[in-house]
Structure 1
């Protein structure tokens, strides 16, 4: 093997020679040099061992100006272009020891069927590839004797993307592997046969300072892109519905509620059945400070009215006033027959928009960590946008049942805007 000397970014030195884990997941901001070091790592491996490496992007035609061009550039920089040959029809790179790099796109899945003995796959911009495509590629990774590796690289996107749900956590299902905040702090972590690597432009010592300054400027006019490009962090794409939403320990929330002078207590309920959820939320309002506290939840589906009433009776809610969805008068009537203090929430024209604005007027919304479904639905809740990328103020990225329950529970309570003269409590328990 030819001796190679190459200056690299220190943060990537260990990554270049770590082949202990089957999966290697690199996430980072713009200009962090993650793609460069993945390409260099593959070249070094294929010089050392005879392998077939597959490089995949969602669209095949994007390879020529990205992954292929990068690999050829590195080969030339290493002074190996006289030994490692590249072709453009088809896109392929061939090594003197028989190793080769082939390029495919998930937009032409039929091309994958002819691939054999691939022991190394690189998924560039893996967040753009569909989850089914990732699983298909995992099945294509096979060789009778060599160890198998899959390298995934991406800029971070929404936490709703499959890369986050697969390699970190899925709040909807309770699946958990790793807290992304831990990765941002430690920069590299090995877990579940996966090597995790996080990087930002600060890790690329070859970047001009002017480039980093451009990334910093995003903070003022595009905070979402700043999070992705500068910080290299997963998050929420879009405008948050409740930016004042925060989570505290249940003990702290209850202690604070007990300290409020005359707290206003409210209970709201949204009905569901097969696909949608029955959601009950219990709240306390600090009227003077305009703070909403959420301290209890009920969240189940697939129950009959009898089963639901039995459940809530066991939870001690029979004597509490519950404001519920007025679109279900028969269900409310049944609960009242069961001696529940349940009443229909009033609905006016444009109620979704008005209710959303009402909740947004609270200075703070503090949720107990004992309410996981409230947190899951509201912490990252964003507005939908139209084809012109304009916000639709009464539509959201998900159907938040707990948000509806909050609307109903606050039916007879008004939160004044900052221009107003204080909230008006029309009723309290």
Structure 2
């Protein structure tokens, strides 16, 4: 395969550098590429090669390569681009910035630009983008996809493209609903058919690995049928919902079709979880008698920057009319403190709150985890007006975090999960003062 470059230099890529099963993907200029399937198929390396080659084209090309978490860019996509460039002999023609993780062809200015979607200014600096590639987009939200897709409008582009690559983790995922036929999860729906290229693959499409040994590795790594379906066979997973920590939450009942927004007539509580990674917060609103319980927003920061949290609160809410609650560990001094202050003291100082606005417990009473689970389940089961809006990661926690035989929350499967659920349960415990009798029927 050859690609042109100014100054008459041509780059020739031996056909052994890529899988024959991905040749059409490598050449695709479709508006959308939807590449999904099992692990080990080679789809990610194909995208690395595809977009490195585009840097040498005579037309304008500027790719935004996306990661849900900014801190993972260096060790994932940036490292992948470097590895494939070195393997194929392209590295010496390109400039790799170790500080910004930007990759540039100095001869024509074509570039690969990284962006983390946990950045509050997630679309800033992405002007002139002609192509977007998001690997593991299943970790993002539909709203993230929509915001990025709107950036693809450069009139100078040879073509515009949004490429998505992912494992089909759940039949209930927003990617399944948005891109695929309702009755066929392996065919693009009418909205994307005709302007999208669909590619499905598994480890069996990768001729560069020992497929027998890789299959044994996959089977050893996966212990339930849903994960085997997804990672081995590349088919949509159907995770079990039994044994959940909160088993009375019903998405169709508790997530309204039209999201609730901030209501000045209601009390506002912000419940914070002071974990190292990520730091999270939820915004809850209620009336005096708890007849309405509305979760209206969520916050996650993988840098665990408490000052960033304070800025977010200050930008979005009237600090004179809110209460701060949450994890009792916020009373301790943390590594992010610029002095001998606790997390709650930092929030109080930064937002200029009075002491009555801090509603956090000083410690955890005996049986606290079991009590807040009981209260959480009671709210979802019997409260007449309990809803969650604009908080997709909280919903994910509610639908996936399980309970251990001891009655504690199981936090072993994904360290980034469960923290928003903790925010919710700490907040509900606080506003009911830990008494289930205070929950309206």
TM-score (norm 1): 0.52
- 1:388 is matched with 410
Superposed CA deviations along residues 15-70 of structure 1, whole A, max 9, x for unmatched, are: 11121x20000101111111110111111222113311100111011111111111
Query: What's the secondary structure of 1:238's corresponding residue?
Result: coil
- Say whether the 8 Å CA contact 1:28–1:200 is kept in structure 2: yes
- Residue segments in structure 2 that go unaligned for 5+ positions in a row: 5-9, 244-252, 258-398, 404-408, 413-441
Q: Structure 1 residues 40-49 or 192-201, which shifts more?
A: 40-49
1:39 pairs with 31, 36, 48, which one?
Answer: 48
Tell me the distance in 1 between the aligned counterparts of 2:126 and 2:225. Answer: 42
Query: What's the secondary structure of 2:123's corresponding residue?
Result: helix
- 2:326 is matched with none
Cα offset for 1:164?
A: 0.8
Query: What's the secondary structure of 1:98's corresponding residue?
Result: coil
- Residue segments in structure 1 that go unaligned for 5+ positions in a row: 170-175, 184-189, 242-271, 277-381, 391-429
1:226 pairs with 223, 228, 233, which one?
Answer: 228
Q: How does 1:35-184 map to 2 (within 5 A)?
A: 35-48=44-57, 49-95=59-105, 96-146=107-157, 147-169=159-181, 176=182, 179-181=184-186
Query: What's the secondary structure of 2:138's corresponding residue?
Result: helix
Q: How does 1:203-222 map to 2 (within 5 A)?
A: 203-208=205-210, 209-217=212-220, 221-222=223-224
Tell me the distance in 1 between the aligned counterparts of 2:72 and 2:400. Answer: 31
Q: Is 1:4 equivalent to 2:13 in the alignment?
A: yes
Aligned in 2, Cα 1:238/1:113: closer, same or farther, shift over 3 Å? Answer: same
Cα offset for 1:111?
A: 4.4
Tell me the distance in 2 between the aligned counterparts of 1:47 and 1:383. Answer: 44
- 1:289 is matched with none
Q: What CA RMSD, in Å, does the superposition of the two structures yield over aligned residues?
A: 2.8
Aligned in 2, Cα 1:164/1:82: closer, same or farther, shift over 3 Å? Answer: same
- Say whether the 8 Å CA contact 2:227–2:237 is kept in structure 1: no
Superposed CA deviations along residues 67-121 of structure 1, whole A, max 9, x for unmatched, are: 1111111111121222111012111000132100010011004142222110000
Tell me the distance in 2 between the aligned counterparts of 1:389 and 1:42. Answer: 37
Superposed CA deviations along residues 113-133 of structure 1, whole A, max 9, x for unmatched, are: 222110000011011111111
Cα offset for 1:223?
A: 1.7
Aligned residues: 240
Query: What's the secondary structure of 1:191's corresponding residue?
Result: coil
Answer with 1 or 2: which has the greater Rg: 1
- Say whether the 8 Å CA contact 2:401–2:410 is kept in structure 1: no
Aligned in 2, Cα 1:138/1:201: closer, same or farther, shift over 3 Å? Answer: same
1:23 pairs with 24, 32, 40, which one?
Answer: 32
- Say whether the 8 Å CA contact 2:55–2:104 is kept in structure 1: no
Cα offset for 1:217?
A: 4.3
Query: What's the secondary structure of 1:27's corresponding residue?
Result: strand
Runs of 4+ more than 4 Å apart: none
Cα offset for 1:239?
A: 5.2
Tell me the distance in 1 between the aligned counterparts of 2:115 and 2:193. Answer: 29
Q: Which has the higher strand share?
A: 1
Query: What's the secondary structure of 1:71's corresponding residue?
Result: helix
Tell me the distance in 2 between the aligned counterparts of 1:383 and 1:82. Answer: 46
Cα offset for 1:240?
A: 7.1
Tell me the distance in 2 between the aligned counterparts of 1:215 and 1:227. Answer: 11
Tell me the distance in 2 between the aligned counterparts of 1:119 and 1:109. Answer: 22
